[in-house]
Chains A and B, each alone.
Chain A
Amino acid sequence: MMRRDAQSISSRSDKVVQGPDPIGVAELYEQAIRVIYSEAFAAGLNPAQWNALRYLSSALPERRTPSAFAQYHHVTRGTAAQTINALERKGLVSKRPDETDGRAVRLELTEAGHAMLSKDPLNLLAEAFAQLPRNRLEAAMMIGQQVTMEVYRRVSRR
């Protein structure tokens, strides 16, 4: 059975395996990302809200503001405010006045926010990468850097 399938494929092409196909590679990564997004929504947060939680867990205290978050991700202040307000409504983020600038607010993760972050679906992908030997992880890192930046540049040229 296997032999017949292989023959029928090879009859349409000189080679059965033709080497890496960029569309196939893109689909493969998309499948992994789809799982991560699906897990993200299952926890009740959209990807932008997960990004905000991650940002607030690692940013310097002075940078935990809506405007710094907006600058960091190149989103409008309105979009940033929408994301942060949603997290506040869910009890994951709290706001308090900035001690040095009365007009500004500082954002902090609540206890529930920290607990939510421990279930970050991105960990699934990180754990998969952690299985790779060092040389493959380094290759994945360099490919990730190059491909991600290229995608952003292509979008900005549209």
Chain B
Amino acid sequence: MATILIVEDDNDFRAVMRDALSGVGHDVTEARDAAEALEKIAGWSYDLVITDILMPQVDGLSLIREIETVAPKTPVIAISGGDAAIPPAVSLTATKAMGVSHRLAKPFRLKELLSTVDEVLG
């Protein structure tokens, strides 16, 4: 099973993802924002990072750029429900432009999350 870091500012949504991934045996760590995520990445090597894109302060795009620098081999799954101004089509296309191959628009079913995680981890 894999070590997975979930970066998501919505506590409820983060907990649902954590439970689903822990439930199938993954070792899950949580971060509420990009700054906390970077602290955790500095101290541990993760098999996968799942990150929200539109977060307060530092957004997921900046976090992915940092991950490319400090942990370039770590795969990333981008998730986004957009916000009042920006649809998921825009926030997730922004990650596609960075080369993030696996992206999920919120809301998604846990089955979709688990199958995407399986695909990324091979």
Which residues of A are in contact with B by a Cβ distance under 8 Å? 51, 55, 60, 62-63, 68, 71-74, 141, 144-145, 148-149, 152-153, 155-157
Contact of A149 among B86, B98, B105, B107 (CB under 8 A): B86
Of the listed stretches B3-11, B22-30, B87-95, chain A binds B87-95
Which chain A residues border B90 with CB–CB below 8 Å?
148-149, 152
A153 to B5: give the CA distance in the assembly, Å. Answer: 29
A148 to B95: give the CA distance in the assembly, Å. Answer: 13
| Residue contact A63 to B85, C-beta cutoff 8 Å | no
Which chain B residues border A60 with CB–CB below 8 Å?
104, 112, 115-116
Given A62-B112, A63-B105, residue A141 in contact with residue B86 (CB < 8 A): no
A144 to B94: give the CA distance in the assembly, Å. Answer: 8
Given A145-B97, A149-B94, residue A72 in contact with residue B87 (CB < 8 A): yes
Majority-rule SS of A interface residues = helix
| Residue contact B85 to A145, C-beta cutoff 8 Å | no
Which chain A residues border B89 with CB–CB below 8 Å?
51, 55, 72-74
Give the residues from 94 to 108 in chain B that come closer than 8 angstroms, CB to CB, to chain A: 94, 97-98, 104-105, 107-108
A35 to B94: give the CA distance in the assembly, Å. Answer: 22
Which chain A residues border B104 with CB–CB below 8 Å?
60
Contact of A62 among B82, B91, B109 (CB under 8 A): B109
Q: Which residue of chain A has the shortest Cβ distance to B92 in the bound complex?
A: A72
| Residue contact B88 to A145, C-beta cutoff 8 Å | no
Q: Does B63 contact A (CB under 8 A)?
A: no
Known: A73-B89, A156-B84. 11 other contacts (CB 8 A): A60-B115, A60-B116, A63-B112, A71-B88, A72-B87, A74-B87, A74-B88, A145-B94, A148-B94, A149-B90, A152-B90
CB distance from A152 to the nearest CB of B (A): 5
| Residue contact B85 to A155, C-beta cutoff 8 Å | yes
Q: Does B117 contact A (CB under 8 A)?
A: no
Q: Does B61 contact A (CB under 8 A)?
A: yes
Contact of B61 among A63, A73, A145 (CB under 8 A): A145
Q: Which residue of chain B has the shortest Cβ distance to A137 in the bound complex?
A: B97
Q: Which 3 A-B pairs have the closest CB atoms?
A: A74-B87, A156-B85, A145-B94
A110 to B1: give the CA distance in the assembly, Å. Answer: 38
Contact of A71 among B84, B85, B105, B109 (CB under 8 A): B105
Question: What are 14 A-B contacts with C-beta separation under 8 Å?
Answer: A60-B104, A60-B112, A60-B116, A62-B111, A62-B112, A63-B105, A63-B108, A68-B105, A72-B89, A74-B89, A141-B97, A145-B94, A149-B94, A152-B85
Which chain B residues border A156 with CB–CB below 8 Å?
84-85
